[in-house]
Structure 1
Amino acid sequence: MSLGDEPGYGDSSRGEDGGYGGSGQTRTRLPGGGGGDVYGGARRGRSSSRSLVTVVGVVVLLIAAIAFANRGGDDSSSSGGGGSDNAGTSPTAASGERPVGSKDSGIPSGFAHSPVGAESAAANYAVALGSADMFNKTRRDQILSAVITPSKVAEFEASLDQAYTPQFNQNVGLNADGSTPQGYTFVSRTSPIGTKVTESSADAATVEVWCSGLLGLAGDNSTNPVTSTWFTITAQLEWTAGDWKIVTHSQKEGPAPVPGDDRASSADDIAKAVEEYGGFTYAR
Structure 2
Amino acid sequence: MSPGDDHEGYGGTGQTRTRYPERPGDVYGGARRSPRSSSRSLITVVGVIVLLIAAIAFANRGDDDTGSSATGTAGQPKSSSTTASGEAPVQSKASGIPTGFAHDAQGAQSAAANYAVALGSTGMFAKATRDTVLQAIITPSRVPGLEAALDKAYTPEFNQSLGLNADGSAPEGYTFVSRTSPIGTKVTQTSAATTTVDVWCGGLLGLAGTNSTNPVTSSWFTITMKLEWTSNTWKIVTHSQKEGPSPVPGDDKASSADEMAKAVEEYGGFTYAR
Q: Partner residue of 2:210? A: 220
1:37 is aligned with what amino acid?
Answer: D
Aligned AA for 2:2? S
Once residues 246 and 131 of structure 1 are traced to their aligned partners in structure 2, the CA distance between those partners, rounded to angstroms, is 17
TM-score between the two structures when normalised by the length of structure 1:
0.71
The residue number in structure 1 matching 2:2 is 2
Instruction: Find the counterpart in structure 2 of residue 229 from structure 1.
Output: 219
| Cα distance, 1:91 vs structure 2 | 3.2
- 1: CA distance between counterparts of 2:256 and 2:97? 31
- Equivalent residues of 1:235, 1:249 under 8 A apart: yes
How big is the alpha-carbon RMSD for the aligned residues of Structure 1 and Structure 2? Answer: 1.9
Alpha-carbon deviations, 1:125-151, whole Å to 9, x = none?
Answer: 000010001111111111100000000
Q: Distance in 2 between matches of 1:204 and 1:183?
A: 45
Q: Is the 8 A contact 1:99 1:120 kept in 2?
A: no
Structure-2 separation of matches of 1:121 and 1:204: 13
Q: Residue 239 of structure 1 is aligned with which of 224, 229, 234?
A: 229
Structure 1 residue ranges without an equivalent (≥5): 4-34, 45-86
Letter in 1 for 2:31: A
- Report the equivalent of 1:155: 145
Aligned counterparts of 1:277 and 1:40: Cα–Cα separation in 2:
21
Could you say which residue in structure 2 is the equivalent of 1:190?
Answer: 180
Give me the whole-angstrom Cα distance separating, in 2, the residues matched to 1:202 and 1:89. 25
Identify the match of residue 39 of structure 1 among 24, 28, 31: 28
Kept in 1, the 8 Å contact 2:25–2:31? The answer is no
Q: CA deviation at 1:97?
A: 2.6
- Secondary structure of the structure 1 residue equivalent to 2:239: strand
Instruction: Give the structure 1 partner of residue 103 of structure 2.
Output: 113
Residue of structure 2 equivalent to 1:265: 255
1:224 and 1:42 map into 2 onto residues whose CA distance is: 17
How far off its partner does 1:89 sit?
5.2
Which residue does 1:166 correspond to in 2?
156
Q: Distance in 1 between matches of 2:251 and 2:89?
A: 35
Please point out which of 120, 136, 146 is paired with 2:126.
136
1:128-176 per-position Cα deviation (integer Å, ceiling 9, x unaligned): 0100011111111111000000000101100110010112101211012
SS at match of 2:132: helix
Work out whether residues 99 and 112 of structure 1, in 8 Å CA contact, stay in contact via their aligned partners in 2. Answer: no
Q: Give the ranges of 4+ consecutive aligned residues of structure 1 lying more than 6 Å apart after TM superposition.
A: none
- In the alignment of these two chains, the number of paired residues is 212
Match of 1:277 among 247, 267, 274: 267
Percent of pairs with identical residues: 75
Deviations 1:236-260 (A, max 9, x none): 0000010000000100000010111
- Any conservation in 2 of the 1:88–1:95 contact (CA below 8 Å)? no
How many Å separate the matches in 2 of 1:183 and 1:253?
31
The aligned residue for residue 115 of structure 2 is 125
**CA shift at 1:261, angstroms?**
1.5
Output the CA distance in 2 between the equivalents of 1:43 and 1:184: 21
Take 1:214 and 1:94, find their aligned partners in 2: how far apart are those partners? 27
TM-score, structure 2 length as denominator? 0.73
Query: Using the alignment, how far apart are the partners of 1:246 and 1:150 within structure 2?
Result: 9
